[in-house]
Structure 1
Amino acid sequence: MDRINKWGLLNSLIEIVNNESSDDPHAILAQYFLKNFDRIGRLNVYDLAEECYTSRASIRRFCKSLGYENFVDIKNEFEEYIKESSHYYRNCTDSENYMQLLSSQIYEMTQQINRNIGLQIEEIVTVIHQSKQIVFLVSDIYTRQCTEFQKEMILSGKMTYVVNQQYINANILKQLSAEDLFITISVGGFFAKETLKLVEDLPACKMLLTSNGNEKFRESYDKVFYMSGEEDGRNRSVYHMFGIEYCLEIIYLEYYKRFLK
C-alpha cells in the first residue's frame, strides 16, 4: 500500500477505539494493535487470532476495512511509524537542553514562515475572500489543524471542507468550480507529488502550501507558497509538527483583520 496518508492507519485505529463499544470486534483488534505496536513485528496472524479470540478471516476483513490487504501490510506500516517517530524525538533529546533546542527551532521556523508566507499573505487572504468555498486536501497528519481553521472560516461565513483519507472518492472534489479555492497541504511534498494527477484537472483556483521546491508543483498549481526551502519530507521536523498550525493561524488573523474586524 502506498503511504500517501502518513499516520492514516494510526488515526483510524484511534478513531475506532474512541468511538466504538469496547466489546466491538473491530475495537478489540484496534486496541490490541495500539497496545502491542512495539511487538507487532514479532507476531503473526495466528498469535493475533489467539490473543483476540477471533478468526484469521475476521482479521483479514478488519485489515481490508482499513485499506490494507493483510496483517503483514499493517505490520510493515507500524515499523515505519516507529522509525519516523523515534528519529524526530531522538534528535530533539540528543541535546542536553532539548527544551531550549526546540524553542530555538520553533522560533527560527516562525521567522522563516514570516519571511516567506508573510510577504504573500495579503494575496492569500484576498483569494480566500473572493472564493465561493474552500476545500483542503490533506494527509491525516494535518487534518486536526485544518479542521480548526475550517471551524473559524465557517463561523466567519466562508464554507470550508477538509478532505483527507477518502479523497479519491470525495464528492466535493467533483463539484468544484472556477469560483472555488482548492488548497493542498504537504510540508515535505510527498503527498502533493502523489496527488498531482488528481489536482491537475480540477477547475478551481489551486494553492499549495509546502516546503518542497519541486518544479512540477508550479505547473499544476496556480499558486505555490513555500514555508521554507529545506524540507524534503523524509523525516519529521518542527515544520511538520508546528508549521501548518502557525501558517493557518496567521492566515486567519490576517483574514479577520482585513475582512471581519
Structure 2
Amino acid sequence: MAKYNKNNILIGNLLDIVNKASHETTDVLIAKIFLENRYNLNELSLDDLSNQYYISQASISRFIKKLGYKNYNTFKYDVASSNEKMESVHAIQDRDRINDAIAIKEEVIYRINEAYQKMNDLNVNDVLHIVDLLNKYQNIIFFGSELSMAMCKILQLGLVTLGKNVYTIYDKNYQNEMINEMSENDLLICISIEDRWFHLQESINNLKESTSYKMMWTLNSSKDYLEGFDDIFVFGKQIFDNYGYHELMVLIMIVYRVLMNHSNNE
C-alpha cells in the first residue's frame, strides 16, 4: 500500500492530470488508459496495456513512479481501493433515493441552507483573524484540490486588486516546489475538502520544516497531518455525503466581503 493512504484520492489525481492538460502528452494518455480500464485493471498486465495501446512498459512504469508507487501491483490495488472509496461516497443508497425532481431540488436547497446555518455560527473573531493575516502578508499561497482552488478564485482576484502576490496551486509537483521556496515572509493557506489533502505526498516533512506561516482550513481537526501548522481553522463538520463544498463557498465569500470592506474603509 502506498504511504499515507493515497488510494482515497488516486482516481481524483488521474482526473487532475487529464483535466489540466493543454495537449495530450504521454502522461495524459496513460492517465486516460488507467481511468478507462479502472474496473478491470486487475486483469491487465503491463504487457497487456503496452500491446493494446502501443505504449512502452517503461513509460507506464515511469508514470506510476511519478504518482509515488514502486510497482504496478501496488498501483492496481490502490486503483481498486479508490473505486470502492468513490462508490461509497457518491453512490445514493436505496433508502436515500429520491425519484421526484421537485423533491431533489428541495433537498439540495435544504443542504445549502444547512451549510449557511453552520457558517452563521462562525466566530467573527476567527474571520477577522484570517483577514488580518491576509492583510499582513504580501505573498499569499493557497494549496488544495483543483476544485477548492477554483472556489478561491474570487478571493485571489480581490487580494490581487489590493496589491498582493497571490497564487492558488493544486498541482502536487508545483506545491512541492513552492514549499521549498517559501520563507517567513509568506502566508500559506492549505484547504481540505472531500477529506482530500496534498499531505498525501512524501513532501509532508518539507512542509513541517518550512518557515512560512502555515494555516489549514479543514472540516476535520483530528487528522494527524495537521501537525506543523501554525493555525487550524475548522469551517464546517463532515457529515453524511457533505464534503464541505457549500461551507467553503460561504466562508470564502464572507472573508472576501470583510477583506474588501475593510480596505475600502481605510
- Contact kept? 1:212, 1:226, Cα under 8 Å: yes
Aligned equivalents of 1:59 and 1:90: distance in 2? 31
Against the structure 1 CA distance between its residues 105 and 54, is the aligned structure 2 distance closer, same or farther, given a 3 Å change threshold?
same
Against the structure 1 CA distance between its residues 103 and 38, is the aligned structure 2 distance closer, same or farther, given a 3 Å change threshold?
farther
- Contact kept? 1:132, 1:180, Cα under 8 Å: yes
Q: C-alpha displacement at 1:58, in angstroms? A: 2.6
Aligned pairs (5 A) from 1:26-37: 26-37=27-38
Identity of aligned residues (%): 22
Residue aligning to 1:45: 46
Which ranges in structure 1 are unaligned for 5 or more consecutive residues?
none
Aligned equivalents of 1:192 and 1:62: distance in 2? 18
- Contact kept? 2:151, 2:249, Cα under 8 Å: yes
Give the match's secondary structure for 1:29. Answer: helix
Answer yes or no: is 1:111 the counterpart of 2:124. no
Q: C-alpha displacement at 1:129, in angstroms? A: 0.9
Aligned pairs (5 A) from 1:111-150: 111-116=117-122, 118-140=124-146, 142-147=148-153, 149-150=155-156
Answer yes or no: is 1:11 the counterpart of 2:16. yes
- Contact kept? 1:95, 1:101, Cα under 8 Å: no
Q: C-alpha displacement at 1:182, in angstroms? A: 2.0
Amino acid of the structure 2 residue aligned with 1:257: N
- Contact kept? 2:145, 2:196, Cα under 8 Å: no
Give the match's secondary structure for 1:19. Answer: coil
Aligned equivalents of 1:246 and 1:43: distance in 2? 45
Against the structure 1 CA distance between its residues 14 and 175, is the aligned structure 2 distance closer, same or farther, given a 3 Å change threshold?
closer
What TM-score results when the alignment is normalised by the length of structure 2? 0.75
Amino acid of the structure 1 residue aligned with 2:182: Q
- Please give the per-residue CA displacement for 1:184-214, whole angstroms capped at 9, x wherever unaligned: 2124767487676444443333322112233
Aligned equivalents of 1:48 and 1:89: distance in 2? 29
Q: C-alpha displacement at 1:219, in angstroms? A: 6.8
Residue aligning to 1:162: 168
Which ranges in structure 2 are unaligned for 5 or more consecutive residues?
none
Residue aligning to 2:91: 90
Residue aligning to 1:72: 73
Aligned equivalents of 1:110 and 1:218: distance in 2? 26
Aligned equivalents of 2:104 and 2:177: distance in 1? 42
Aligned pairs (5 A) from 1:190-229: 191=197, 197-214=205-222, 220-228=228-236
- Please give the per-residue CA displacement for 1:127-164, whole angstroms capped at 9, x wherever unaligned: 21121211223245533334553344223321112344
The root-mean-square deviation of aligned C-alpha atoms, in Å, is 3.4
